[in-house]
Amino acid sequence: MSINSLNTSISYLKGVGPSRADLLKSELGIYTFSDLLNFFPNRYIDRTQFFKINQLQQNSSEIQIVGKITNIKTVQQKKGSRLVATFRDETGFMELVWFRGAKWIKDSLKVNIPYVIFGKTTYFNGLFSMPHPEMELVADYKKNLRSAMQPVYPSTEKLINKGISNRVVSKMIQSLFEELNGNFKETLSISIIEELNLISKGEALLNIHFPRNQELLTKAQKRLKFEELFFIQLQLIRKKLVRKAKIKGFNFESVGINFNNFYKNNLPFDLTKAQKRVLKEIRKDLGSNAQMNRLLQGDVGSGKTIVALLTILIALDNGFQAAFMAPTEILATQHYNSVIELLHEMDVTVKLLTGSTKTKERKIIHEQLQSGELDILIGTHALIEDKVKFKNLGIAIIDEQHRFGVAQRSKMWQKNTLPPHILVMTATPIPRTLAMSVYGDLDISVIDELPPGRKEVKTAHRYDANRLSVFKFLKEEIEKGRQVYIVYPLINESEAMDYKDLMDGYESVTREFPMPKYQVSIVHGKMKPADKEYEMQRFIKGETQIMVATTVIEVGVNIPNASVMVIESAERFGLSQLHQLRGRVGRGAEQSYCILMTSFKLSADAKIRLNTMVETSDGFKIAEVDLKLRGPGNLMGTQQSGVLNLRIADIVKDAQLLKTARNVAIETLTKDPSLKEVENLAIRNTYQQISKNSTIWANIS
């Protein structure tokens, strides 16, 4: 079988034709023979057992029966009509019912000829009936390629309404196997197949669609899942190797006066082992002649900003400029303030550029950038505007990188003749399996310990009924001189309901904490930036004890004196959001607390989320739970979920197989980077084919 015959349009397959082909394309994305071959069942039914009509039970299991249609009638109902057929075997009779496609079905039914019917039965008025049964003449049933494990394929309502049932799809796949005559090209090397004890490609495809038994089905699934994950990993790792070989980066040879001066005299605390390890990894990249493309993961408060600043100082020591980009003005301003504070005794020029920067100041920044007077530019999306031109940008730090689209990140590349080194940072811990799948072409560094002296935030779950005791606790903390956040969910800034919740909450807080004894700030998305900044500053200076806010304070706000985080309607937040919010407290030396407020009505998932928060503060454990609850697509947002439209593998359930696939891919490319050796010919051909057809790879990293 040539690869080309797999690229044949699906309309040329026996039993398909142009109109069915259009439906398969629009509903299931099946365009070619190859697409249909790789359209895998999502479950299987045991079709070895037959029932008699007098053995039927009132349950919802799917069953099959052999019998004959003895009578057909059309019954009028309020809307349209339904088709009813009497179906008999030697023990009794039942009804077959169709609510859709009655005319087309009526013409196709044969009376007094034995059928095998299959479906779920319902029981009403002493009579069993089977709506929309799958039907096959006994004569055809005996002839067909089939298995004990009957495949069930994903479908849509439109397909079912147009008569493309599960049995029709199964028949198409049977025709395809006859057409291709079992002649399937191998896609993996003999050594991988033998080492992992995998069945051949042809055997796997046959047994995924028509499994002869449970054992062969399991082997087929393992083979096809491994292959899918292996080729994803192969592309990611190869992309990384090619980039390192081809994309030259600035070579930062020296670690000079800026770095050493800061390290010896200005570092506010000793670096943790993890920070030192990560810094070493970054320094190695910067001196390797290749462009750095590294993802730095670290939990809230683990000290990523100091690592970023030390990296920037290496660039400055080598005569280059640095950019530091954050997703929000609040966060960019905070980075700016902390960098200014840390570098206040050093001869380094730092400026802030955001949407709020005045035109006059902008002009000065643009000029200083191009002349090279400006060393570090910190800001928001404003940094990637075309007007912003650097004299020699050596490194770009991108914070909370999942909030920036691919196009925005790539604009950073175009600021120079040679691309700057890139360090992307995230405080949202990414589960290992997801990092391997989505960021597999980046180098990954992890800061997995908190600075010494940090106390773990104590987390409690309280119901609305306990509100008075929670208020009492807040008053006690305020008496000690501490500050409190009270956060309300914000699903959508235009939703009146969220705004009302926030304002109602604000009123009840001001009633309970009256002026002049207490001062309460409020911050939300509908406020003007200047008003928001004014309220934030009052809280930062300690002029107000309570900050009532929506999730605008989620990322990066750093107020060491704030020791309590109350999250209202905590069941409406995702796990990573809860974890981020909790990270706003616990930044000083005092014991801090996070209180999750909810109503009594909680879904099973919400209970798991809240229990996870109470039980652990380890961001990576939380991320693993989140991945299991929400699945990879939702976790990554739409930008990166394209890579995870897997046909058969599941990165949560098949985590072990994913690790194996990655290791095998690394091993294969280490021995044979260009896949030129004879034994890797099958891998090379498949790889080229996938790369040609795949558009998603351009979008990763």
Is residue 312 over pLDDT 90?
yes
Q: What is the pLDDT of residues 334-377, one digit of tens each?
A: 899 989 999 988 999 999 999 889 999 999 999 999 999 999 99
Structure tokens at 672: 């044979």
Strands 62-76, 81-89: pairing is antiparallel
Cα distance between residue 317 and residue 313, in whole Å: 6
Q: What are phi and psi of 290, to 5 degrees?
A: -105, 160
Cβ partners under 8 Å of residue 373, min gap 6: 349, 367
Give the pLDDT confidence score for residue 699 in this predicted structure: 35
Helix axes 304-317 and 329-342, enclosed angle (nearest 10)? 60
CB distance 499 to 524 below 8 Å: yes
* Highest averaged pLDDT of the listed ranges 43-47, 141-145, 272-276, 379-383: 272-276
Of residues 144 and 337, which shows the higher confidence score? 337
Give the pLDDT confidence score for residue 40 in this predicted structure: 94
Residue 663: strand pairing partners = none
Is residue 700 over pLDDT 50?
no
CB distance 209 to 229 below 8 Å: no
CB distance 460 to 329 below 8 Å: no
Mean pLDDT of the region 127-144? 88
Q: What is the pLDDT of residues 41-67, one digit of tens each?
A: 988 887 778 899 998 887 767 888 999
Check whether the bond before 516 is cis (ω within 30° of 0). Answer: yes
Q: What is the pLDDT of residues 70-82, one digit of tens each?
A: 999 998 888 888 8
User: How far is CA 318 from each of CA 84, 261, 274, 287, 390, rounded to the nearest angstrom?
Assistant: 83, 15, 25, 11, 15
CB atoms within 10 A of CB 265: 9
The chain-wide mean pLDDT, for the chain, equals 86
Q: What is the pLDDT of residues 184-231, one digit of tens each?
A: 899 999 999 999 999 999 999 999 999 888 888 989 999 999 999 999
Cα distance between residue 602 and residue 583, in whole Å: 24
Q: What is the pLDDT of residues 228-239, one digit of tens each?
A: 999 989 988 888
Map out the domains of the chain with their CATH numbers. Answer: 48-145 (2.40.50.140), 214-247+649-699 (no CATH), 257-286+303-426 (3.40.50.300), 458-616 (3.40.50.300)
Structure tokens at 691: 């790369």
Is residue 151 over pLDDT 50?
yes
Q: Give the confidence band of 697 by pLDDT, cuts at 50, 70, 90.
A: very low
Give the pLDDT confidence score for residue 2 in this predicted structure: 47
Does residue 112 come out as left (phi exceeding 0), alpha (psi in the -120 to 50 range) or beta? left
Give the pLDDT confidence score for residue 401 in this predicted structure: 57
List the alpha helices (DSSP H) in 398-550: 406-413, 432-438, 467-479, 496-512, 529-540
The region of weakest confidence among 289-303, 362-376, 470-484 is: 289-303
Q: What is the pLDDT of residues 314-336, one digit of tens each?
A: 999 999 999 999 988 888 988 99
CB distance 293 to 442 below 8 Å: yes
Residue 76: strand pairing partners = 81
Structure tokens at 245: 């070989």
Give the pLDDT confidence score for residue 552 in this predicted structure: 62
* CB environment 47-79: b (16+ within 10 A), e (fewer): beeebebeebeeeeeebbbebbbeeeeeeeeee
> Residues of the chain with pLDDT > 90: what percent?
44
Q: What is the pLDDT of residues 166-186, one digit of tens each?
A: 889 999 999 999 988 878 899
Give the pLDDT confidence score for residue 182 in this predicted structure: 77
DSSP state of 430: -
Q: Give the confidence band of 419 by pLDDT, cuts at 50, 70, 90.
A: confident
Give the pLDDT confidence score for residue 311 in this predicted structure: 96
CB atoms within 10 A of CB 676: 9
Strands (E), 558-641: 562-567, 593-598
Lay out the sheet containing 483-487: strands in order across. Answer: 458-463, 593-598, 562-567, 483-487, 546-549, 520-523
Is residue 550 over pLDDT 50?
yes
What is the rounded (10 degree) CA torsion for 75, 77, 83, 85? -50
Cα distance between residue 318 and residue 495, in whole Å: 50
CB atoms within 10 A of CB 541: 9
Nearest to 310 by CA among 348, 277, 358, 262: 262
CB distance 578 to 549 below 8 Å: no
Structure tokens at 303: 């000290």
Q: Give the N- to C-terminal CA distance of the chain in Å, as an integer.
A: 36
Structure tokens at 377: 């530019």
Q: Is 458 strand, coil or helix?
A: strand
Q: Give the confidence band of 535 by pLDDT, cuts at 50, 70, 90.
A: confident
Of residues 221 and 126, which shows the higher confidence score? 221
Give the pLDDT confidence score for residue 1 in this predicted structure: 44
Cβ partners under 8 Å of residue 87, min gap 6: 53, 65, 67, 68, 69, 70, 93, 94, 95, 96, 115, 117, 130
Q: Give the confidence band of 497 by pLDDT, cuts at 50, 70, 90.
A: low
Give the pLDDT confidence score for residue 146 in this predicted structure: 63
Q: What are phi and psi of 682, to 5 degrees?
A: -60, -40
Q: What is the amino acid identity at position 391?
A: K
Structure tokens at 447: 């800061």
